[in-house]
Amino acid sequence: MTTVDVNVTAGKAHVGQPWLWRLSREFDVRVNVKKASIDEDYGWVQIELEGPVEEIQRAIAWLMTTGMHVESLQRAVGA
């Protein structure tokens, strides 16, 4: 298994959307919310993705297609 920490920043259009739920349902990754701050207009979340490297890469690629700002805090490393 691999774990990667990712920061995701969401504007008003994405704050109310269930993108964390979709991430955990559509990809073979476990999502762990480490820190978050969300209000009506803006939000950020630091999540840990755990799973096979390929699935983490697919999940991050999908996040990037949503229009949210996505920043990997480290490269994938084996656990």
**Structural domain that includes position 30:** 2-73
Closest CA relative to residue 41, chosen from 13, 9, 69: 13
Residue 79 lies in a domain: no
Q: What percent of the chain has pLDDT over 90?
A: 78
Residue indicated by tokens 């109310």: 16
**How many CB atoms are closer than 10 A to CB 63?**
21
User: Does the structure show a pLDDT above 90 at 74?
Assistant: no
> Quick check: helix, strand or coil at residue 74?
coil
User: What is the total count of domains within the chain?
Assistant: 1
Closest CA relative to residue 51, chosen from 71, 70, 25: 25
| pLDDT digits 0-9 by tens, 30-50 | 999 999 999 999 999 999 999
pTM value? 0.85
User: Does the structure show a pLDDT above 90 at 73?
Assistant: no
Rg of the chain over all Cα atoms, to the nearest angstrom:
12
Residue indicated by tokens 């996040």: 63
Residue 63 lies in a domain: yes
Residue 41 lies in a domain: yes
CATH of the domain at 15: 3.30.70.260
| pLDDT digits 0-9 by tens, 4-20 | 999 999 999 888 889 99
